[in-house]
Amino acid sequence: MKKIFHTLALAAAALGLTACFDLTEQAFNRIEKDNFYQSESSVKGAIASVYYTAEGSFGEYFFYLNEFSADQIAWRVWNGGQWGWDNAEKFVLSSHTWTSQSSIIQSAWNNTWGAIGETNSIIHDLETIDLEAIGVSPEKAAQYIDEMRTLRAWCYYNLFEVWGGALPLNTEVTSEVPPTADPDFNTSCKKIWQFLITELDESLAGLPKNNVNRMNQATNRMIKARLLLNAAVFTGEDHFSECASLCQEILDGNYGTYALADDFRDIYNIDNVNCPEVIFALASEYGKSHGNAYNCRNVTFFPYNAFGDPESIFGSNNDQGRWNCVIIAPSHDNSGNEVLATGGTDTGGKSFLFDYGDKLGAVYDRFDNRDIRKKPYHADEKGNWEGLFLMGPQVDYYTGAALPADADRDGQNLVYVDQVGTFQNKGRDLATVMSPHWGETNSGYRLVRYPVLPDVCEVDFRDIDEVEFRLAEVYYMLAECKLRAGDSAGAKELVNQVRKRYFKASDWTSVQNEPGPGFDAFDEDWMLNEWGKEFLCEGRRRRTDLRRFDKFTQGQWWFFGRGEGDDSYPAKRDRKYEWFPLPEAALTVNPGLVQNPNYVAD
């Protein structure tokens, strides 16, 4: 029968009826692959897409993985454990109860490999297409390739911090499915670490200096410095002295001209691309960029009346969704004589820092009272702003009238307390220490990392570029290397160079010699504490800090490690969670992947 049909088809074709059997698919809203590269603009279009993919991934999923699992930021649920529960997607990060099926882990994986796949494809194309035909010089192509290799290395670095030696390596456009770099987790760690060092070194030359929104030399070197600083975590070998000398080279201006900002607000303001401290920032503009970056670092904290007309905390009428889900870790427990009408207790509870002696968490108490950042956030109509926190009673920007709360505190005022608990016993009885599952609308102070200005200033906070690499980190890396080499005075000096800007000159005389609230020496605890304050909510608490000081699973903060046997938060801390598990879906389709041995029993 088939033959007959084909004969018929052939006969028809012979009659000039080929069109009657033409099944070539036409794409109208896509570009055929073979027609894609038309000019240098096409190359830039492909590169723009990679940054966009990376921005989405690093701005959201890696932020969750590295902050919610750590001691400073938490996703808290309210309204009797109902609102913001979101299938516990983020709660499992705070409580260290994630599994290989956890959504955020899956998303982080998918997005970043997407970005890596795109870089592989661009590098392959630039190496194989007829560059002359599209008017791109070989030198220019080489620069693009170096940019893509560095960007790819950054993607790998982010994956590496999360998954360590479980990762595969893939730098080719191929249909071969690559296995984990080495079946042995630790050997694999070393291989990947070395691969990244080599990639970064090889791709340095073609990069520009001081190109703040693109991969540049200083960014390349900072990624390498992070690899060196954390080498002990990754490979078991320490490279602190190598790290120190690389940091010194960056500070010496070998990879671009940078300087610490005198006014810390310059780092976060709308023109932060011009701030000398900023080395790399993801470009952001409402309606153009990905949005995950500004979503996560600001609006996750904000209540519904953050923006609005006529009432608004910020004097801004903005259509950005407000999440009301994220808080800074509370400084105080829920003890007290009585519960206040708006939530919290009359005494304000005991301090995790001062009363419990925690070296971690307790974000607000951690700041020195003389620190100019330790204030309620407020911006004037000229765009000057101060303070980092939404705390206490919230009022309308223009009238000063109290603003209402919602959900479990519907009909009452919005008054933020530095405690987290179900003070109305909704869904659970109030306990002294409660996990973020049992918050209320009023629970927890909020952070304003990037300023939100009143409408009259005509600045949309969503247009502020999101800083990923800045010079202060180089100071801190160098300081830590010195501290670890026994030079705590040198460490203190470097840290002080950065934090001097947070104090009035009159206060600085005494502050500069104090290790800060809750600390009595310039030791490792102090150093970790300083990292936390300087880079609060910048997405790197777990990755470069807690792991390196071995506090990620072994430290104690807030509810973490204080569980009373309730299975919704951990009573014990488990080293199993030092690394994240490979997502189950990835394991299913790639038999070459070797799960992190700690999760194999799952």
Partner 1 sequence: MKRILSALTLLLLTVGLVSAQGGYLVKGVVVDAQGPVIGATVLQQGTQNGTVTGLDGDYTLRVPDADALVEISCIGYATQVFKASEVPATVTLAEDTEFLDEVVVIGYGTLSKKEVSASIVQVDSKDFFRGTTNNPMTMLTGKVAGLNVVTSQGSNPNSGSDYQIRGATSLNAGNGPLVVIDGVPGGEIRSLSPQDIESMTVLKDAASASIYGTSGANGVILITTKKGSKDEPGTAHVTYDGAFNVNFVKAPIAVLSPEEWVRSRRGTDYGARTDWYSALLRDFSYGHTHYVGVDGSTAKGSYNASVSYKNSLGVDLVDAREEFGARAALEQRIIKDFLQLNISLNARRVNEEYGNDGSFGTALTINPTFPIYNEDGSYYQPTAPTNATNPVEAMLNKTANGQRLYATGAVSLKANFIRTDVHSLSSTVTYSLDYNDYKSNNYTPIESHDKYWNGYEGTASLSYSKNWRNQLEWLFNYSFHQGNHHLNAVAGYSYMDHNSESMNMTNRGFAYDSILWNDIGSGTARTENPAQTSMGSGKSLSKVIALLGRVNYNWNNILFASVSLRHEGATNFGDNNKWGNFPAASLAWEMANMGFLSGAKWIDSLKPRISYGVTGRRGGSNVARPTYGSHGQYYMDGEWVKGYRPAANENPDLRWEKLVAVNAGIDFVFFNNRLRGSLDLYDRRSPDLLYNYTAPQPPFIHSSILVNVGETENLGAELALDGDIIRKPDFGWTSGINASVGYSRIKTLSNQIYGASYIDMLGTGGLGQTSYYYRYTEGSRIGTLYGYEAAGVNEFGDMMVYDNDGNIITAASANAAYKRYIGNTIPKLFLSWNNTFRYKHFDLNIFMNGAFGHMIYNNRRANNLQSSGNANVFRTAYTTDKDVREYGGVVTSYFLEHGDFMKIQNVSLGYTLNPKSEIIRSLRVFLTATDLYTITGYTGTDPALLSTNGLTPGVDNGSGYPETRVVTLGATLTF
- Determine, following the binding rule CB under 8 A, whether residue 74 of this chain makes contact with partner 1: no
Interaction residues for partner 1, span 21-40 (CB under 8 A) = 21-33, 36
SS3 417: strand
With binding defined as CB under 8 A, does residue 87 bind partner 1?
Answer: yes
Which H, E and C letters describe 360-416, residue by residue? CCCHHHHCCCCCCCCCECEECCCCCEECCEECEECECCCCCCECECCHHHCCCECEE
Judged by CB, which is closer to partner 1: 532, or 570? 570
Residue type, 277: E
Stretch that binds partner 1, among 385-393, 426-434, 487-495, 517-525 (CB under 8 A): 426-434
- 127 in contact with partner 1 (CB under 8 A): no
SS3 99: coil
Contacts of 458 (CB under 8 A, 6+ apart): none
- Secondary structure E strands in 76-151: none
CA distance 392 to 217: 44
Interface segment toward partner 1; rule CB under 8 A; list 191-199, 355-363, 382-390, 399-407: 399-407
- If binding is defined by CB under 8 A, does position 504 make contact with partner 1? no
Rule CB under 8 A: is residue 398 a binding residue for partner 1?
A: no
Residue from 64, 109, 160, 475 in contact with partner 1 (CB under 8 A): 109
Residue 291: C-alpha distances to residues 58, 112, 264, 461 (Å): 11, 16, 23, 11
Residue whose CB is less far from partner 1, 309 or 514: 309
Q: What single DSSP character describes residue 438?
A: G
Q: Does 425 bind partner 1 (CB under 8 A)?
A: no
Sole binder of partner 1 in the list 134, 178, 295, 496 (CB under 8 A): 178
Neighbouring C-beta atoms of residue 340, cutoff 10 Å = 16
* 271 makes contact with partner 1 (CB under 8 A): no
Q: Which is nearer to partner 1, 30 or 505 (CB)?
A: 30
Q: Which stretch binds partner 1 (CB under 8 A): 47-55, 222-230, 346-354, 446-454?
A: 47-55
Which 562-601 residues touch partner 1, going by CB under 8 A? 567-568, 585-586, 588-590
Q: Per rule CB under 8 A, is residue 434 in the interface with partner 1?
A: no
CB of 94 to partner 1, least distance (A): 11
Supply φ then ψ for residue 447, to 5 degrees: -115, 140
Residues 6+ apart with CB under 8 A from 126: 43, 136, 141, 144, 145, 148
**Which of residues 179 and 387 has its CB atom nearest to partner 1 in the complex?**
179
- The size of the interface with partner 1 (CB under 8 A), counted in residues, is 108
Query: If binding is defined by CB under 8 A, does position 106 make contact with partner 1?
Result: yes
Q: Closest distance between partner 1 and the C-beta of residue 204, in Å?
A: 20
**Minimum Å distance from CB 302 to partner 1?**
11
Instruction: Say how far residue 94 (Cα) sits from the centre of its chain.
Output: 15
**Parallel/antiparallel/unpaired status of strands 389-390 and 378-379:** unpaired
Site for partner 1 in 153-172 (CB under 8 A): 168, 170, 172
CB nearer to partner 1: pick between 489 and 571:
571
> Is 145 near partner 1 (CB under 8 A)?
no
CB closer to partner 1 out of 209 and 288 = 288
Is the bond leading into 310 cis (omega within 30 degrees of zero)? Answer: yes
Q: Output the furthest CA–CA distance in the chain (Å, rounded).
A: 98
- Contacts of 136 by beta carbon, 8 Å cutoff, 6+ apart: 39, 40, 43, 126, 144
Instruction: Find the binder of partner 1 among 53, 66, 69, 595 (CB under 8 A).
Output: 53
Q: Give the amino acid at 309.
A: D
Q: Which of 5, 128, 252, 505 binds partner 1 (CB under 8 A)?
A: 5
The residue range among 61-69, 254-262, 402-410, 475-483 that interacts with partner 1, by the rule CB under 8 A, is: 402-410
189-228 binders of partner 1 (CB under 8 A) = 213-214
Binding to partner 1, residues 471-500 (CB under 8 A): none
Which three-class secondary structure state does DSSP give residue 544?
Answer: helix
Q: Which stretch binds partner 1 (CB under 8 A): 118-126, 481-489, 506-514, 540-548?
A: 118-126
- Which of residues 10, 11, 13, 20 is near partner 1 by CB under 8 A? 20
Q: Which is nearer to partner 1, 268 or 526 (CB)?
A: 268
| Separation of alpha carbons 331 and 8, rounded Å | 82
436 binds partner 1 (CB under 8 A): no
Q: Which two tokens stand for residue 453?
A: 């200005």
Which residues are registered as beta bridge partners of 327?
A: 74
* DSSP annotation of 84: T
Q: Name the segment binding partner 1 (CB under 8 A); options: 86-94, 264-272, 383-391, 527-535.
A: 86-94
Q: Which is nearer to partner 1, 28 or 506 (CB)?
A: 28
Does 367 bind partner 1 (CB under 8 A)? Our answer is: no
Among 110, 335, 512, 598, binds partner 1 (CB under 8 A): 110
Map 228-247 to HEC letters: HHCHHHHHCCCCHHHHHHHH
Q: Is 426 in the site for partner 1 (CB under 8 A)?
A: yes
Pairing status of strand 326-328 against strand 73-75:
antiparallel
Of 463 and 550, nearer to partner 1 (C-beta) is 463
Interface with partner 1 includes 422 (CB under 8 A)? no
Q: Is the Cβ of residue 170 or residue 512 nearer to partner 1 in the bound state? A: 170
Q: Which of 85, 195, 354, 508 binds partner 1 (CB under 8 A)?
A: 85
Strand partners for 557: 560
d(CA 219, CA 207) in angstroms, rounded, equals: 10
Q: Assess 286 for contact with partner 1 (CB under 8 A).
A: yes
- The secondary structure of 447-502, three-state, reads ECCCCCCCHHHCCCHHHCCEEEEEHHHHHHHHHHHHHHCCCHHHHHHHHHHHHHHH
Interaction residues for partner 1, span 305-364 (CB under 8 A): 307-309, 317-319, 322, 324
SS3 536: coil
128 binds partner 1 (CB under 8 A): no
